[in-house]
Amino acid sequence: MLRALADCNNFYASCERALDPSLIGVPIVVLSNNDGCVVARSSEAKALGIPMGAPYFEVRRTCEAHGVRIFSSNFEVYGDFSERVMAALGEQARDLEVYSVDEAFLGFPDMPDADAKALGLRIRADVLKRTGIPISLGMAPTKVLCKLANERAKTDKASGGVIVVPASVEGRNAFLRGVEAEDVWGVGPGLASRLRSHGILSAIDLAEADPGFIRRIAGVVGERLALELRGISCHDIVEDAGPRKSVLVSRSFGRPISDAHELSEAIASHAARAAEKLREDGLVASSIVVFIRTNQHRIDQEQYRGDEAEPLDPPTDDARAICAAASRALARVRRDGYLYKRAGVMLHGLTPADVVQPSLPGMGGAADPNKDRLMKAVDALNHKLGRDAVRLASTGFEREWKGKSELQSGASLTDPERLPKAKDGPKPRIRFHE
């Protein structure tokens, strides 16, 4: 079986360019929630030496001096782009494993190297045409080799964004020469140190070592890495990752807050979003945990962190019941006199909504017979009109506690009022497909 790793190039920055093609060639930086630190850079921004994860205040002058465009993260839009990219990839592959928001493993029947290269180039062109997002493809018999090939495809301009690891042993070994063992996907600092102590310095050393010996010094993980470098697959493509075990929604505040009403609004908003995620996956939850935190980096302020659980009986995906339970938990965990920086909720005990065991008579809360119709109507309206167009009053209106996003483009792929506008300049490359 031939596998491929498709990885969107500088994904968040590429999304901003797809929305505004005049940004092509311009250095771009995307900031984290609350405009705190750098979470994405275009290749031009990387060339300026702007490091990933750097606090924005540390690189602000560099950005201003070199005309770097700064954007607050817009995860709703990035998620929409991700879905479109994955849908386009899924049409081309026999198997598809969505690995992250901007990565996917694809499965194909075995084919000659030349045919694989041509297929990869077609897929790359199709995704770019349909979504405006450039991708790189690494194609090989195993996931570990795909990862190495993908990294090389990003930097090898002559490859056209597609690298195929040769099927022959000689070709595969030639591909691995020059790759350090520590650069192999799955080799962390600890494993790299153990390998070095036994004279295994490169990927080819690891591939040619006796698997039994590797297992003795590096465990089953190391043995599988060695086999994958030989072209023997140990990791299948997993199309269904299985149901969620929990749902977490958490955000930092735009400013420290102490007001009980603001904190209650934030927790209700997070709880409502968690309930929405449950309904998207056809699940219900049997308990909720509310947690709040002060800023641990502000040693000049009093510190507090706490969490409190509340049962959901019967298990539910009803935003009203979940928000009410969150409010009860918050009342128990909140303390006066602190400046809170972060808050969130986590739903546990998830089960499919259609297999919930009913409570015995006299036990558990009463189920609302109109709950499903109401939640479906709310979800349908928000899908049509935009998120939170219809929401519980307890989630707030002004929401002054929300994180900073002062540099967000404000564009949307689903809200008609915020669709990208045509501008003078480079011709837009994006087409929207339903």
Q: Could you tell me the CATH number of the domain that includes residue 290?
A: 3.30.1490.100
Claim to verify: residue 101 and residue 135 sit in the same structural domain: yes
> How many separate domains does the chain show?
3
**What CATH number does the domain containing 197 carry?**
1.10.150.20
The β-bridge partners of 249 are 345
**6 and 134 fall within a common domain:** yes
Taking only the tens place, the pLDDT of each residue in 227-278 is 998 888 888 877 666 677 889 998 888 788 899 999 999 999 999 999 999 9
Beta-carbon contacts of residue 359 (< 8 Å; ≥ 6 apart): 313, 314, 365
190 falls within a domain: yes
Bridge partners, residue 106, by sequence: 4, 96
Whole-number Å distance between alpha carbons of 122 and 19: 23
Which distant-in-sequence residues (6+ apart) come within 8 Å of 413 by Cβ?
77, 80, 81, 84, 419, 432
Q: Are 7 and 156 in the same domain?
A: yes
Domain membership of residue 416 (yes or no) is no
Asked if 139 and 162 count as a contact pair (C-beta separation under 8 A), the reply is yes
Rounded Cα gap, residues 136 and 256, in angstroms:
41
Burial annotation 278-308 (CB, 10 A radius, 16+ → b, else e): bbeeebbbbbbbbbbbbbeeeeeeeeeeeeb
Residue 427 has a CB neighbour count (10 Å cut-off) of: 6
Residues of the chain with pLDDT below 50 are: 422-434
| Same domain (yes/no): 193, 156 | no
On whether residue 428 sits in a domain, the answer given is no
Structural domain contains residue 401? no
Both 181 and 205 in one domain: the answer is: yes
State whether 211 and 193 are in the same domain: yes
pLDDT given at position 188 = 86
Same domain membership, residue 200 and residue 293: no
- Do residues 224 and 296 share a domain? no
Count CA atoms within 13 Å of residue 237 on its CB side: 24
Please report the sign of the dihedral spanned by the C-alpha atoms of residue 211, residue 214, residue 220, residue 224. Answer: negative
Phi, psi of 104 (to 5 degrees): -150, 145
Asked whether residue 293 falls in the same domain as residue 329, the answer is yes
Question: E strands within 353-397?
Answer: none
13 and 119 in a single domain? The answer is yes
Asked if residue 432 is part of any domain, the answer here is no
Strand order in the sheet with 28-31: 38-41, 28-31, 69-72
203 and 258 part of one domain? no
* Phi, psi angle pair for 269, to nearest 5°: -65, -45
In a domain, 158, yes or no: yes
Cis bond leading into 314, ω under 30°?
Answer: yes
CATH number of 141's domain: 3.30.70.270
Both structure tokens of 34 = 């609350």
Average pLDDT of the chain is 86
DSSP reduced 3-state for 247: strand
Domain contains 24: yes
- pLDDT value at position 239? 65
**180 lies in which domain range?**
169-230
Angle at 334 between CA 321 and CA 291, to 5 degrees: 65
Same domain for 312 and 385, yes or no, is: yes
Tens of pLDDT, residue by residue over 11-59, are 999 999 999 999 999 999 999 877 889 999 999 999 999 999 999 999 9
